[in-house]
Amino acid sequence: MDAKPQTGEEITGRNQKNGMPPVPASTGRDCGSGPFRRLVLRGATIIDGTGAPPWGPADIVIENDRIAAIVAVGTPGKPISPSRRPPAGDEEIDCHGKFVTPGLIDCHAHAGVPYHALHGTPAPADYVYKLWLAHGVTTAREMGGFSGLGWMVEQRKASQENRIAAPHLVVHSYFPAVNDMLKTIHTPDEARAWLRDLKARGADGVKFFGAPPAIMKAALAECRELGLRSGCHHAQQAVTRMNALTTAEWGLTSAEHYYGLPEALYDNRVVQSYPAGYNYNDEYFRFSSAGQTFQQAAEPGSAKWNEVMERFLALDFTFVPTFSIYDANRDVMRTRRADWHDDYTWPSMWRFFQPARGGHGSYWFKWSTGNEIDWKQHYRLWMSFINEYKNRGGRVCTGSDSGFIFQTYGFGYVRELELLQEAGFNPLEVLRSATIQGAELLGIDAETGSVEVGKRADLLVLDENPLEDFKLLYATGALRLNDATGQVEWRQALRHTIRAGLVFDIPAMLADIRTMVADQKALEAEAAARTPETAPA
């Protein structure tokens, strides 16, 4: 009989038995300078993350890992008097004509996906972390801990100690109580004991997919008692017994994706109408039918719509929509041929994305125009609710869930910024969602999420105003015409990511990532030339 796994290691053990070990952990740091005793950013225009408009020029003084001073040093269009400026630093960055924002927070992230191992060598954590940092992500909430709680806690510590090049990591472990995934918790008492042990082992929170109601209710009460935060992907196998509003009323911290929200809005049914022959384990059925859930729900502005909206608002509930992870459902051809895949997408991850029965998120074997039309309507209704929720004072945070469905780490996060703008958020509201509101969700807003004295120096230095075009945040940049030369060029805004005072040079980091991907492709090509019958499919 197999030994009982440690708390937070259950799904990791199962995956390992099935040929999906934890992704290779980061063990060292080969980039980033500092933190410095005194670092000064000179002449920046500040976009502080709170929703306030840009202002400057200002000098920002960073001492070790903290913002020590923010000094207005002049007026736009006029020379800056040296007498107004703070004293010199040990290190300085010229930010005249540049923009400084808070570091971005990915509230739904995965530090690698073990499933990719079924398609060849999985990407190491270094690849994932560097892509996050190269897109300005300085904090990531790991949602599921699929490489194991012990693995994640050690990576979090290594990041805190600057032993690796990684964002700050917030660790949420999978709650094993769903039949179709992995279920080792069968009673409320087992749930409470499991959560106490999880807290003792160092987790920051819990990732739910659902559970029997008595277990879920007891678990959420225990989370509140222990100070563990919680997020839930309300899986179809559990959502009929508890939708997103049910769990919000029981104390859930955030709803992930959209699952459970349309079900809370049903006014002429309780269970979604599924097509004949539906089987949840057939991913084509799962995702094609999921695109019809909002069409079966109450209409925007209806009494039911307003009632549900008001109840969520009264609970001060948070939504993390992750619009980007389902973006391919609206136009798979566009998403599959995104500019970055050739140079930045890891080979085994690329193969994992391809059509295959049984592969999670690989349901393209008969994806149709009709499916895409369903999903476009789904997005219109979903975005309408999320935008109205924001307008009425609700918290909406930015998460990517990359590593699935043609979304590459970092790039998927920037796509989420674009999709929040599509939903109706203006650019300052998008940045607010990606910074201070994410920090509030994670309970770290006293530490990070805005450009303020006393906070941790999690900052971005950008050559261009990100509010004008989020496409300029992609590591590839965006294709633009240079009128002076008559030539097209790729313009990219992010110059430095600063994480707790540690400064990363983005062009150098991107060159390193491209080399990592190219080297892996070369290794695979060499192996295929030697033994073609064993080459990755």
pLDDT per position as a tens digit, 327-385? 999 999 999 999 999 999 999 999 999 999 878 888 999 999 999 999 999 999 999 99
First to last CA, the chain: 35
Q: DSSP 3-state assignment of 245?
A: helix
| pLDDT range class, residue 5, cuts 50, 70, 90 | confident
| pLDDT range class, residue 181, cuts 50, 70, 90 | confident
For Cα atoms 280, 230, 248, give the angle at the middle one, nearest 5 degrees: 80
pLDDT, the chain, mean: 95
Q: Considering only 29-33, 148-152, 284-288, 492-496, which range has the smallest mean pLDDT?
A: 284-288
Measured distance CA(163)–CA(350) in Å, rounded: 29
Query: Distance of CA 107 to CAs 232, 248, 338, 435, 448, Å?
Result: 12, 18, 23, 10, 14
Q: Considering only 475-479, 515-519, 533-537, which range has the smallest mean pLDDT?
A: 533-537
Return the HEC string of 27-63.
CCCCCCECCCCCEEEEEEEECCCCCCCCEEEEEEEEE
β-sheet bridge partners, residue 230: 206
| pLDDT range class, residue 534, cuts 50, 70, 90 | low
Domains in the chain: ranges and CATH:
105-442 (3.20.20.140)
Chain centroid to Cα 232, Å, comes to 14
DSSP designation for 456: B
Q: Give the pairing of strands 459-462 and 478-482.
A: unpaired
pLDDT per position as a tens digit, 314-339? 999 999 999 999 999 999 999 999 99
pLDDT at 77 over 90: no
Of the candidates 341, 235, 333, which has an alpha carbon nearest to the alpha carbon of residue 287? 235
Report, as an integer, the average pLDDT of 443-459. Answer: 98
pLDDT at 435 over 60: yes
pLDDT per position as a tens digit, 97-117? 999 999 999 999 999 999 999
pLDDT at 424 over 60: yes
> What pLDDT does 439 receive?
98
Instruction: Count Cβ atoms below 10 Å from residue 428 Cβ, excluding itself.
Output: 16
Cα-flanking dihedrals φ and ψ of residue 435, to 5°? -130, -90
Report, as an integer, the average pLDDT of 420-424. Answer: 98
| pLDDT range class, residue 237, cuts 50, 70, 90 | confident
> What pLDDT does 372 receive?
96
Q: Is 370 exposed, middle or buried (0-12, 13-18, 19+ CB in 10 A)?
A: exposed
Instruction: Count Cβ atoms below 10 Å from residue 268 Cβ, excluding itself.
Output: 8
Return the HEC string of 1-12.
CCCCCCCCCHHH
Measured distance CA(259)–CA(126) in Å, rounded: 31
> What pLDDT does 172 receive?
97
Of the candidates 99, 102, 161, which has an alpha carbon nearest to the alpha carbon of residue 137? 102
Cα torsion 334, 403, 371, 231: sign = negative
